Structure formats: C-alpha cells, structure tokens
Amino acid sequence: MTGPRPSDAAAMVLNELGGKISAAIRRMSNNTVPDETVLKQMLSEIARALLEADVNVRAVQQLRGNVLSAVDISSLGAGVNKVKLIQKAVFDELCRMLDAGHKAVPLKRGHGSNVVMFVGLQGNGKTTTCAKYAYHYSRKGWKTCLVCADTFRAGAFDQLKQNATKAKIPFYGSYTETDPVAIATAGVERFRAEGYDLIVVDTSGRHKQEVALFEEMEQMTSAVKPTDIVFVMDSSIGQAAHDQAAAFRSRVDVGSVIITKLDGHAKGGGALSAVAATRSPITFIGTGEHIDEFEPFVAERFVGRLLGMGDVSGLMTTMKDAGLANNADMVKRLTGGVFTLRDMNEQFEGIARMGPLDKVMGMIPGLSSMLPEGAVGNGSEGAKRIQAFGYIMDAMTDEELDNPKVVWCTSRIRRVARGSGRHVAEVEALLVEYRRFAKMVQSVGSMSKKGGMGGLGGMGGMGGPHMTRDMQAKMQQAMDPAMLRQMGGAGNMQEMLKKMMGSGGMPNLLG
C-alpha cells in the first residue's frame, strides 16, 4: 500500500481516498522545487482519487482551481517553501469541501432537557446511531435516555431496547401503542420530568421519501419540540446524498447530519462532500456496527487523519471522555518523576475505555502510516499485548503496584505469571516496558525540579519552547527508537506531548 495505513475504522474512506491523495502529495514533495507541471500532475492525481470516491465533478474542479490560484507557482520567489505551501493549499481545500459553512445546533447541559429527534430512511442506521449518540454523551457524563417512537418497523423497539441495555441507558417504548406521536410525547414528558440532560427520540423510517413519512415527522416535531433534528444517512449512496439531504431539509428543520457506514464504502468521500454542499453540518460519522464505532466529525481533524497527519485534538477529547486527562494526582506524581506500575495499569485501563485501539492510534500523528497492517486493530498483536499487560498487573499485590522494584525477583515474577495465566517472559516484557516509561518520567521530573520546566505549568510547556535540546535528547534516549520512529519522529512527539500535558494528560499511549 502506498498511502497511510487506515488505522481507524473509517477504513474505506481512508484507504481508497487518503492513501491516493497522500501518495500524490508525497510524489510532488520529492521535487525540492516543484514547478507548474509537477503541481498540475499532483492535482490530476488528487482529482482522480476524489472522482473515484464519487465526489461531484464540479466540486473537484473547484478544488483544483482554488489550489492553483492559492499557489501561483510562477510568481513565487526562490526563498519560499513551495512544497509546504502546496500541501497547505490542498489541506485547506479538502477542509473547505467538507465544511457546511456553519455549525450545528449546540446542545447545552444544565438548561433543561435537550430533545434530539432522529430521522432518516429505513435501513440507513438510524436506530443503531441513536444508541451510539446516546452512549457518546453518557460517556461524557450526561444523563441520557432513549425513546423508541418507531412503530413502522416491527422489531425496532426490541433493537433499541437491546442496544440501550448493553450501553446501560434507560429507554422508553411500547409494544401495544401504535401511534408514534403518542409514544414520543409520553416518553419525552416522562424523561423531562426526571431531569434528563439528553432525550434521544428514534422515529420511523420508510423505504423512500414519501408523504406519510414527512407528515409523521412534522407531527412528531410539533409534539416533542426538539432541540435538534438529526438526519441519518448511509454513505454508500455517494454524491446522491446531496439530493436526499436537500429533500429532507426542505420538509423538516434538519439541524445536523450523521453519515453512517463509512467503514464499508468507497463512496464515503462523495457522500460527505455532497452533504456539506447542502450546507448541512455533519456532526458525527458511523464507522462500524458497534456502539463505540462512532466519532465526532470535524473537517480539519478528518482531513488530517485522511492524510496521515494525526488528530491531536481529537485524541485529547477522547482521553478526556475516558477520564484520562485532568488526573491532577497522577500529573503531580509524574512531575515529581514518580511512575509506578499502578500508574501504568491506570493508563492501560484508560486506553481500553477510549474505544477501539485502532481508532485511537489513528489519531496519533505519523503513527498510522508507519505501523504494519493490523498492528493495532482490535484483536491485533498490539491490542492483545495491552490486554495481557492488564491481566498481569491485576495479579500483582498493592505493594508491587506501588513499589515495582520488589517485583524484580524470580519467585515474584513466577507467582505473577501463574496468577495471571501468562508466561514468565510476558511478565518480564511488561517490567522492561515499565522501566522504559519510568525512566522517561524520571528524567522529565528531574528537569522539572531543576526549574527548567517549572512544575506542572512547566510540564505544559514540555514540548514547547521551554524544551531544550538537552531535554529532547534525554527523552529520545529514554524511548524505544522504533517507537519514536513510529510516532513520526521527535518533532511530532513533542507537539503531541505539548498538547497532552497542556491539558493535564500524560504521554500514556506510547506503550
């Protein structure tokens, strides 16, 4: 494969499109001083990739024209970094293509219940997406619930009930009531009275846009007075999404769109850009059948990952949602240079809470393009290794977790291996990994004490201008060189650490 390895579940989009676009950019960058021919060649390759992903011809032409006028290559002086300029112009244009030009209706917590009504055609993934959406907010600590007002499809209530139960989200529905408006009204009233932050209402779908569907949606809207109406769409229809989104918008007050099944269709890029062209903001994308295969959609982040540039701010949000960031206690210990096995265990548990490992890895700059295929996916060697480390640490005593030095003796290693059902070699591998982390934390802590980094605040500047060559060198020495390479080199790592530390997190993903 030529492009970045698609490390998150939006495999097809990244695989087909991202791979080709970044390969075109890479080929262009091989020319230290690209001229107009090289630029046009790159744009033709990108255009071909976009058309293959079913992006509208006019949108592609516009991208081409805009890049050419943003980079007037013949008028650029010799001192200008043309490659960087071209890369930036392509990035900006791809972002513009996916940007609806305005934001979706924001949900507010603490001002009564937000009622969000889901609409869409049958089979597009509406019921599944309702559960994913509710789960997303419940992980952020919102009091969330689900109402099933889909009386059209037999089995819809059972499906929602099953998803809700799995995600531990309260739900409301009826096997006997046939009027969807009556169910929605009763469910919303009940959950509003109980002070829920977010009430997600699943409505009926139809096989095609028809009068009955729109009438039901209108009645439902006047009954539950939604804060937002979310239109759920399957990405497999590609640029035909434009007309479908426009038709729904003309009949109902759609405030945001969620595109599903981006994991399975090469036309995903076409669907995303077509919906953005209707000025409907895309808020989330569905990237698989599971409840956590769902992610917020932000054009810049998406394009960044598409081109294998990572998504540091997305990573931060995911870490915060998983309760990994803002662990003041741990940050304090770390700035003092202390890192125990208990800290490491907490980090691994946190990683598990962040969702599928491949999704998380895709957010780390440079990592996706450098790991071999399957290295971090669910059930991959990487994921299994982290899971095994978790079992091993679960078999340790409190003393061992807090004072890892004591584990370094044959009898204890053997006991831990037996207790966790793992091999002695795996316990030793964990201890080696732990040592590497601890060494890194120690050197950072000692720099912090010397005043170079100024305690916690200084930690925030660790990757920033305060990071001296000496600090960088020490961190690089402490890290496994292969790992450093995987992270896109010291520069990328620095940027990531800066952002992580800046919001109270820690470099917990390195393992």
Which span (283-291, 322-330, 467-475, 478-486) binds ligand GTP, by CB under 6 A?
A: 283-291
Q: Is 190 in the site for ligand GTP (CB under 6 A)?
A: no
Q: Is 187 in the site for ligand GTP (CB under 6 A)?
A: no
| Backbone φ/ψ region at 54: left (φ over 0), alpha (ψ -120 to 50), beta | left
Which span (52-60, 148-156, 172-180, 397-405) binds ligand GTP, by CB under 6 A?
A: 148-156
Structure tokens at 1: 């494969």
Distance in Å, CB of 153 to ligand GTP, minimum: 4
- β-sheet bridge partners, residue 198: 114, 144
- Return the residue of 23, 38, 156, 316 that touches ligand GTP, per CB under 6 A: 156
Round to whole Å and give the CA distance between 349 and 504: 18
| Interface size with ligand GTP, residues (CB under 6 A) | 21
Distance in Å, CB of 260 to ligand GTP, minimum: 4
Q: Is 122 in the site for ligand GTP (CB under 6 A)?
A: yes
Of 235 and 443, nearer to ligand GTP (C-beta) is 235
- Return the residue of 87, 144, 244, 287 that touches ligand GTP, per CB under 6 A: 287
* Residues found in the chain: 511
The interface with ligand GTP within residues 195-234 (CB under 6 A) comprises 205
Distance in Å, CB of 125 to ligand GTP, minimum: 3
Distance in Å, CB of 32 to ligand GTP, minimum: 42
Q: Is 355 in the site for ligand GTP (CB under 6 A)?
A: no
Distance in Å, CB of 158 to ligand GTP, minimum: 11
Distance in Å, CB of 250 to ligand GTP, minimum: 20
Q: Is 443 in the site for ligand GTP (CB under 6 A)?
A: no
- β-sheet bridge partners, residue 230: 118, 256
Round to whole Å and give the CA distance between 311 and 50: 22
- Return the residue of 5, 20, 82, 126 that touches ligand GTP, per CB under 6 A: 126
Round to whole Å and give the CA distance between 278 and 244: 10
- Return the residue of 3, 180, 288, 382 that touches ligand GTP, per CB under 6 A: 288
Of 18 and 463, nearer to ligand GTP (C-beta) is 18
Q: Is 150 in the site for ligand GTP (CB under 6 A)?
A: yes
Q: Is 292 in the site for ligand GTP (CB under 6 A)?
A: no
The amino acid occupying position 93 is E
Contacts with ligand GTP, 228-267, as mask; x by CB under 6 A? --------------------------------xx-xx---
Residue with tokens 């992270």: 487
- Return the residue of 123, 141, 457, 491 that touches ligand GTP, per CB under 6 A: 123
CA 322 from centroid of its chain's CA atoms: 12
Structure tokens at 304: 């960044």
Round to whole Å and give the CA distance between 207 and 211: 12
- Return the residue of 125, 270, 314, 337 that touches ligand GTP, per CB under 6 A: 125
Of 63 and 229, nearer to ligand GTP (C-beta) is 229
Which span (59-67, 287-295, 427-435, 496-504) binds ligand GTP, by CB under 6 A?
A: 287-295
Round to whole Å and give the CA distance between 447 and 337: 9
Round to whole Å and give the CA distance between 329 and 342: 13
Please tell me what DSSP assigns to residue 155. T
Of 125 and 507, nearer to ligand GTP (C-beta) is 125
Instruction: Measure CA of the first residue to CA of the last residue in the chain; give whole Å.
Output: 25
Closest Cα partner for 286 from 136, 441, 93, 405?
136
In angstroms, what CA-CA distances link 54 with 49, 345, 427? 9, 45, 50
The amino acid occupying position 265 is H
Round to whole Å and give the CA distance between 318 and 56: 32
- Return the residue of 253, 289, 426, 495 that touches ligand GTP, per CB under 6 A: 289
Distance in Å, CB of 215 to ligand GTP, minimum: 16
Q: Given strand 144-149, what is the order of strands in its sheet?
A: 171-172, 144-149, 198-203, 114-119, 228-234, 256-260, 282-286, 294-296
**b/e for 173-191, b at 16 or more Cβ within 10 A?**
bbeeeeebbebbbbbbeeb
Helix-, strand-, coil-residue percentages of the chain, each rounded to 5: 60, 10, 35
Distance in Å, CB of 443 to ligand GTP, minimum: 43
Give the binding site for ligand GTP (CB under 6 A). 120, 122-128, 150, 153, 156, 159, 205, 260-261, 263-264, 286-289
